[in-house]
Protein backbone atom coordinates (compact mmCIF):
# COMPACT_ATOMS: atom_id res chain seq x y z
CA UNK A 1 0.00 0.00 0.00
CA UNK A 2 2.82 2.39 0.90
CA UNK A 3 4.52 1.81 -2.49
CA UNK A 4 1.27 2.51 -4.32
CA UNK A 5 0.93 5.86 -2.56
CA UNK A 6 4.55 6.71 -3.30
CA UNK A 7 4.00 5.94 -7.00
CA UNK A 8 0.93 8.18 -7.05
CA UNK A 9 2.83 11.02 -5.36
CA UNK A 10 5.80 10.73 -7.74
CA UNK A 11 3.53 10.58 -10.81
CA UNK A 12 1.54 13.54 -9.51
CA UNK A 13 4.68 15.56 -8.89
CA UNK A 14 5.94 14.95 -12.43
CA UNK A 15 2.52 15.56 -13.97
CA UNK A 16 2.17 18.77 -11.99
CA UNK A 17 5.33 20.28 -13.45
CA UNK A 18 3.85 22.71 -15.95
CA UNK A 19 5.75 25.95 -15.33
CA UNK A 20 7.22 27.23 -18.58
CA UNK A 21 10.66 28.76 -18.14
CA UNK A 22 12.50 30.84 -20.77
CA UNK A 23 15.72 29.35 -22.09
CA UNK A 24 18.07 29.65 -25.04
CA UNK A 25 18.46 27.03 -27.74
CA UNK A 26 20.99 27.66 -30.51
CA UNK A 27 19.53 30.14 -33.00
CA UNK A 28 15.89 29.26 -32.28
CA UNK A 29 13.62 32.12 -31.20
CA UNK A 30 11.22 32.12 -28.25
CA UNK A 31 12.76 29.06 -26.61
CA UNK A 32 11.33 27.83 -23.32
CA UNK A 33 11.04 24.56 -21.44
CA UNK A 34 8.98 22.65 -18.91
CA UNK A 35 10.89 20.74 -16.22
CA UNK A 36 13.65 19.90 -18.71
CA UNK A 37 11.28 17.35 -20.28
CA UNK A 38 9.64 19.48 -22.96
CA UNK A 39 11.42 22.16 -24.98
CA UNK A 40 9.48 24.71 -27.05
CA UNK A 41 10.85 27.06 -29.70
CA UNK A 42 10.53 28.66 -33.07
CA UNK A 43 12.34 27.21 -36.08
CA UNK A 44 15.58 25.55 -34.96
CA UNK A 45 18.89 25.71 -36.73
CA UNK A 46 21.35 22.79 -36.61
CA UNK A 47 22.89 24.14 -33.39
CA UNK A 48 19.47 24.21 -31.72
CA UNK A 49 18.76 20.62 -32.76
CA UNK A 50 22.13 19.47 -31.40
CA UNK A 51 21.54 21.37 -28.18
CA UNK A 52 18.04 19.88 -27.77
CA UNK A 53 19.56 16.41 -28.14
CA UNK A 54 22.31 17.28 -25.65
CA UNK A 55 19.58 18.30 -23.18
CA UNK A 56 18.03 14.85 -23.54
CA UNK A 57 15.34 15.37 -26.18
CA UNK A 58 14.59 12.12 -27.97
CA UNK A 59 11.85 13.37 -30.31
CA UNK A 60 11.52 16.48 -32.49
CA UNK A 61 7.91 17.45 -33.22
CA UNK A 62 7.58 19.94 -36.08
CA UNK A 63 4.25 21.78 -36.44
CA UNK A 64 5.26 23.63 -39.62
CA UNK A 65 3.60 23.08 -43.00
CA UNK A 66 5.65 21.50 -45.83
CA UNK A 67 5.63 24.77 -47.78
CA UNK A 68 7.10 26.56 -44.75
CA UNK A 69 9.82 23.94 -44.45
CA UNK A 70 10.77 24.44 -48.11
CA UNK A 71 12.21 27.82 -47.05
CA UNK A 72 14.37 26.33 -44.26
CA UNK A 73 18.06 25.80 -44.99
CA UNK A 74 18.51 22.79 -42.73
CA UNK A 75 17.35 19.25 -43.56
CA UNK A 76 15.58 18.94 -40.24
CA UNK A 77 14.66 15.23 -40.33
CA UNK A 78 18.26 14.33 -41.19
CA UNK A 79 19.73 16.74 -38.61
CA UNK A 80 17.41 15.33 -35.93
CA UNK A 81 18.39 11.77 -36.80
CA UNK A 82 22.10 12.66 -36.86
CA UNK A 83 21.67 14.13 -33.37
CA UNK A 84 20.03 10.91 -32.12
CA UNK A 85 16.41 12.08 -32.14
CA UNK A 86 13.40 10.77 -33.98
CA UNK A 87 11.43 13.23 -36.10
CA UNK A 88 7.66 13.72 -36.22
CA UNK A 89 5.87 16.05 -38.61
CA UNK A 90 2.43 17.22 -37.46
CA UNK A 91 1.64 20.11 -39.85
CA UNK A 92 -0.55 22.75 -38.27
CA UNK A 93 -2.15 25.51 -40.32
CA UNK A 94 -3.13 28.40 -38.08
CA UNK A 95 -5.06 26.72 -35.28
CA UNK A 96 -5.98 23.67 -37.35
CA UNK A 97 -4.36 20.31 -36.70
CA UNK A 98 -5.82 16.98 -37.74
CA UNK A 99 -7.29 14.90 -34.94
CA UNK A 100 -4.76 12.12 -35.68
CA UNK A 101 -1.80 14.53 -35.48
CA UNK A 102 -3.18 16.15 -32.35
CA UNK A 103 -3.48 12.81 -30.60
CA UNK A 104 0.01 11.83 -31.80
CA UNK A 105 1.49 15.02 -30.33
CA UNK A 106 -0.54 14.75 -27.10
CA UNK A 107 0.62 11.15 -26.66
CA UNK A 108 4.27 12.18 -27.10
CA UNK A 109 3.79 15.00 -24.57
CA UNK A 110 2.15 12.53 -22.15
CA UNK A 111 5.14 10.21 -22.56
CA UNK A 112 7.62 13.04 -21.97
CA UNK A 113 5.95 13.95 -18.70
CA UNK A 114 6.09 10.43 -17.25
CA UNK A 115 8.99 9.47 -14.99
CA UNK A 116 11.69 8.17 -17.33
CA UNK A 117 9.70 9.31 -20.39
CA UNK A 118 11.25 10.52 -23.63
CA UNK A 119 11.79 14.29 -23.54
CA UNK A 120 10.54 16.16 -26.63
CA UNK A 121 11.39 19.28 -28.58
CA UNK A 122 8.21 20.87 -30.00
CA UNK A 123 8.53 23.71 -32.51
CA UNK A 124 6.86 25.74 -35.22
CA UNK A 125 8.09 28.93 -36.91
CA UNK A 126 7.97 31.28 -33.91
CA UNK A 127 6.49 29.16 -31.06
CA UNK A 128 3.06 30.73 -31.61
CA UNK A 129 1.37 27.48 -32.68
CA UNK A 130 3.40 25.63 -30.06
CA UNK A 131 1.84 27.82 -27.37
CA UNK A 132 -1.64 27.33 -28.79
CA UNK A 133 -1.20 23.55 -28.77
CA UNK A 134 0.30 23.64 -25.25
CA UNK A 135 -2.81 25.50 -24.05
CA UNK A 136 -5.08 22.90 -25.64
CA UNK A 137 -3.00 20.08 -24.24
CA UNK A 138 -3.04 21.46 -20.70
CA UNK A 139 -6.78 22.13 -20.82
CA UNK A 140 -7.39 18.60 -22.08
CA UNK A 141 -5.11 16.74 -19.70
CA UNK A 142 -5.47 18.88 -16.57
CA UNK A 143 -9.04 20.13 -17.05
CA UNK A 144 -7.95 23.75 -16.74
CA UNK A 145 -10.29 26.67 -17.07
CA UNK A 146 -9.95 28.87 -20.13
CA UNK A 147 -7.92 31.62 -18.44
CA UNK A 148 -5.30 29.26 -17.01
CA UNK A 149 -4.97 27.41 -20.34
CA UNK A 150 -4.53 30.73 -22.19
CA UNK A 151 -1.91 31.84 -19.65
CA UNK A 152 0.05 28.63 -20.20
CA UNK A 153 -0.27 29.00 -23.97
CA UNK A 154 1.16 32.52 -23.79
CA UNK A 155 4.02 31.35 -21.55
CA UNK A 156 4.92 28.77 -24.22
CA UNK A 157 5.03 31.36 -27.00
CA UNK A 158 1.50 32.13 -28.22
CA UNK A 159 1.40 35.84 -29.02
CA UNK A 160 -1.10 35.96 -31.88
CA UNK A 161 -4.48 37.51 -30.99
CA UNK A 162 -6.09 35.31 -33.67
CA UNK A 163 -4.69 32.15 -32.07
CA UNK A 164 -5.75 33.33 -28.62
CA UNK A 165 -9.28 33.91 -29.92
CA UNK A 166 -9.33 30.46 -31.54
CA UNK A 167 -8.03 28.84 -28.34
CA UNK A 168 -10.69 30.57 -26.24
CA UNK A 169 -13.40 29.48 -28.68
CA UNK A 170 -12.23 25.86 -28.78
CA UNK A 171 -12.01 25.66 -24.99
CA UNK A 172 -15.39 27.32 -24.46
CA UNK A 173 -16.99 24.80 -26.82
CA UNK A 174 -15.91 21.87 -24.63
Phi-psi region of 88 (alpha: psi -120 to 50; beta: other; left: phi over 0): beta
Q: Does domain 2-172 have CATH number 3.40.50.300?
A: no
Specify the pTM: 0.89
Distance CA 164, CA 160 (A): 6
- Tell me the domain boundaries of the chain: 2-172
Note the pLDDT of residue 17.
62
For residues 79 and 91, give the distance between their C-alpha atoms in angstroms, rounded to a whole number: 18
The pLDDT value recorded for residue 174 is 78
pLDDT of residue 11: 36
Long-range contacts of 148-155 (CB under 8 A, 24+ apart): 152/18, 152/20, 155/19, 155/20, 155/32, 155/131
Each residue's pLDDT expressed in tens, for the chain with a length of 174 residues: 333 333 333 333 434 567 999 999 999 999 999 998 999 999 999 999 999 999 999 999 999 999 999 999 999 999 999 999 999 999 999 999 999 999 999 999 999 999 999 999 999 999 999 999 999 999 999 999 999 999 999 999 999 999 999 999 999 997
Amino acid sequence: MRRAWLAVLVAGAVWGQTAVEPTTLGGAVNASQVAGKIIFAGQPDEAALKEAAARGAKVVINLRQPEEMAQVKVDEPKAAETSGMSYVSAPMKGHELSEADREKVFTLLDEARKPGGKPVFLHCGTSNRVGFLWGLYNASREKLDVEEAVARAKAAGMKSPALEKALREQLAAK
